[in-house]
């Protein structure tokens, strides 16, 4: 027996479907991801904290869930929306089904709604808050509640997903370059790729000061991805500002935005953001186009960057900034996920650039 569920948006739109995963209620900013696969990585990506993710591909869950493909220790999304959820996966790696996985971790989802119509709404009107409910509460009550929710703008969510204390990523053999990775919502595959590029990585909480990082004396500092509004991560901006010019810095996603803010640049909230595995980005230094994986709802204003910052990457879909570097500070960053593999390895060279900086090759 299926349980009725609703998705209520802050503009009053209501989608009726059936429960998928845990029975209950959840709220967050509703966004969409265009990836055809990778739902397990999406679910466990800390950058999705506070968000209800809609998958645009209609059939989700067909290859199930396994223990190896998680990007963090738990599901991070606030809720999950699919057109057709598969309850009987077929894959030799699968250890459970997607709905069982969601249920075990208390994640409320909804299926059997028109995700194409929902995606068109979010594209035309922008990402907006919503509530998924399979508890039977009246729609009028849910709408009142969702309209009282705060916007994603102004929210510091990095505090919610960062580690409690510093820890060492074990790899064999140990890397030559000593790297301090600041965890604003770091993914496991980033750590794997750093280790694969001769880095010995220690992960630090988001609130770690520049003084503590410098006392650790790394060869370089990695600024990770993460959720929420970069302007609200004031402690992170202060830390990055204190590291500039003292250690090579490589930032991605939220780390890219914090680097820009540390250089007195500005960020802004995008209408519906970039979330998917098919975003074309042009490298202005090589004139090559990379197919990239992205997950962000904020972006850097290129006109706000100082003269010392050189724009290096540009999004070919909507002409937004995707990367810059500051030779003066031995720092560079990109807005996308170079550790992901949609290209499949179009962006791996960025890790080599980081090790070259740490090795003194400018």
Q: Looking at the structure, do residues 189 and 136 belong to the same domain, yes or no?
A: no
* Domain-embedded: residue 152: no
Domain end: 147, 166, 182, which one?
Answer: 147
CA distance 136 to 348: 48
pLDDT digits (tens, 9 = 90+) for 66-97: 989 999 999 999 999 999 999 999 999 999 99
Tokens (6 digits) for 211:
């003084």
Query: Taking Cα atoms as reference points, which of 56, 61, 16 lies closest to residue 39?
Result: 61
39-62 average pLDDT score: 97
CA distance 65 to 178: 34
Q: Looking at the structure, do residues 254 and 184 belong to the same domain, yes or no?
A: yes
User: What mean pLDDT value characterizes the chain?
Assistant: 97
Query: Taking Cα atoms as reference points, which of 177, 246, 168 lies closest to residue 209?
Result: 246
288-297 average pLDDT score: 97
* Domain-embedded: residue 153: no
* The pLDDT of residue 362 is above 70: no
pLDDT the model gives residue 343: 86
* The pLDDT of residue 358 is above 80: yes
Tokens (6 digits) for 146:
């969702």
126-150 average pLDDT score: 97
CA distance 107 to 23: 8
pLDDT category at 1 given cuts 50, 70, 90 is: confident
Q: Looking at the structure, do residues 132 and 162 belong to the same domain, yes or no?
A: no
* Domain-embedded: residue 94: yes
Q: Looking at the structure, do residues 135 and 166 belong to the same domain, yes or no?
A: no
160-177 average pLDDT score: 93
Kindly give, in sequence order, each residue whose CB lies less than 8 Å from that of residue 12, ignoring residues fewer than 6 positions away: 143
Query: Which H/E stretch holds residue 53?
Result: strand 51-55
| Annotated catalytic residue 337 | yes
* Domain-embedded: residue 116: yes
CA atoms within 13 A on the CB side of 172: 0
Q: Looking at the structure, do residues 201 and 115 belong to the same domain, yes or no?
A: no
- Give whole-number Cα distances, 210 to 65, 200, 218, 354, in Å: 39, 19, 12, 19
Pairing relation of β-strands 128-133 and 84-85? Answer: unpaired
- Give whole-number Cα distances, 199 to 108, 210, 257, 325, in Å: 38, 20, 23, 21
Domain that holds residue 194: 158-358
Q: Name the catalytic one among 253, 279, 322, 329.
A: 253
pLDDT the model gives residue 59: 96
Nearest 5°: the CA angle 109, 110, 116 is: 125
Q: Looking at the structure, do residues 214 and 348 belong to the same domain, yes or no?
A: yes
Q: Looking at the structure, do residues 90 and 168 belong to the same domain, yes or no?
A: no
Query: Taking Cα atoms as reference points, which of 355, 325, 351, 352 lies closest to residue 340?
Result: 351
Q: Looking at the structure, do residues 227 and 303 belong to the same domain, yes or no?
A: yes
What is the count of structural domains for the chain?
Answer: 2
Over the range 110-121, which residues count as b (16 or more CB within 10 Å of their CB) and which as e?
bbbbebeebbeb
pLDDT category at 324 given cuts 50, 70, 90 is: very high
Q: Looking at the structure, do residues 311 and 171 belong to the same domain, yes or no?
A: yes
* Domain-embedded: residue 111: yes
Q: Looking at the structure, do residues 47 and 104 belong to the same domain, yes or no?
A: yes
Tokens (6 digits) for 244:
């500039």
Domain end: 124, 147, 170, which one?
Answer: 147
* 3-class state of residue 7 by DSSP: strand
pLDDT digits (tens, 9 = 90+) for 242-268: 999 999 999 999 999 999 999 999 999
Tokens (6 digits) for 11:
């503009």
Q: Looking at the structure, do residues 287 and 306 belong to the same domain, yes or no?
A: yes
Report the CATH number that the domain containing residue 273 is assigned in CATH.
3.40.50.880
Tokens (6 digits) for 130:
């919503």
| Annotated catalytic residue 339 | yes
In DSSP terms, 296 is beta-bridged to: 274
Q: Looking at the structure, do residues 137 and 162 belong to the same domain, yes or no?
A: no
pLDDT digits (tens, 9 = 90+) for 205-249: 999 999 999 999 999 999 999 999 999 999 999 999 999 999 999
* Domain-embedded: residue 240: yes
pLDDT the model gives residue 106: 98
* The pLDDT of residue 171 is above 90: no
Kindly give, in sequence order, each residue whose CB lies less than 8 Å from that of residue 234, ignoring residues fewer than 6 positions away: none
CA distance 95 to 68: 10
Biggest distance spanned by C-alpha atoms of the chain? 63
Domain end: 119, 147, 175, which one?
Answer: 147
């Amino acid at each position: 027996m299926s349980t009725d569920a609703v998705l209520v948006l802050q503009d009053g739109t209501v989608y009726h479907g059936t429960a998928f995963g845990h029975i209950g209620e959840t709220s967050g900013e509703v966004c969409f991801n265009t990836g055809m696969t990778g739902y397990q990585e999406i679910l466990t990506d800390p950058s999705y904290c506070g968000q209800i993710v809609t998958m645009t591909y209609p059939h989700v869950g067909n290859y199930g869930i396994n223990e190896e493909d998680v990007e963090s220790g738990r599901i991070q999304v606030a809720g999950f929306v699919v057109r057709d959820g598969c309850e009987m996966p077929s894959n030799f790696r699968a250890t459970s089904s997607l709905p069982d996985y969601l249920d075990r971790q208390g994640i409320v989802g909804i299926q059997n709604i028109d995700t194409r119509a929902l995606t068109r709404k979010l594209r035309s009107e922008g990402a907006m808050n919503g509530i998924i409910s399979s508890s039977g509460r009246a729609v009028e009550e849910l709408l009142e509640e969702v309209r009282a929710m705060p916007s994603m703008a102004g929210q510091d969510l990095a505090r919610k997903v960062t580690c409690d204390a510093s820890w060492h990523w074990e790899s064999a053999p140990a890397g030559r370059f000593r790297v301090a990775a600041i965890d604003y919502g770091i993914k496991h595959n980033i750590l794997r790729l750093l280790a694969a590029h001769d880095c010995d990585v220690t992960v630090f909480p988001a609130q770690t000061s520049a003084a503590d990082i410098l006392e650790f004396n790394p060869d370089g500092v990695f600024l990770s991805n993460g959720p929420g509004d970069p302007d609200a991560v004031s402690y992170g901006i202060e830390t990055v500002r204190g590291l500039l010019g003292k250690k090579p810095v490589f930032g991605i996603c939220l780390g890219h935005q914090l680097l820009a803010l540390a250089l007195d640049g500005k960020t802004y909230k995008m209408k519906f953001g970039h979330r998917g595995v098919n975003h074309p980005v042009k490298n202005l230094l090589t004139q090559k186009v990379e197919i990239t994986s992205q997950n962000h709802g904020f972006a850097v204003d290129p006109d706000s960057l100082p003269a010392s910052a050189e724009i290096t990457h540009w999004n070919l879909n909507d002409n937004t900034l995707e990367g810059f570097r500051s030779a003066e500070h031995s720092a560079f960053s990109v807005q996308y996920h170079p550790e992901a593999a949609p290209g499949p390895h179009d962006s791996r060279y960025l890790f080599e650039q980081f090790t070259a900086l740490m090795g003194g090759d400018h």
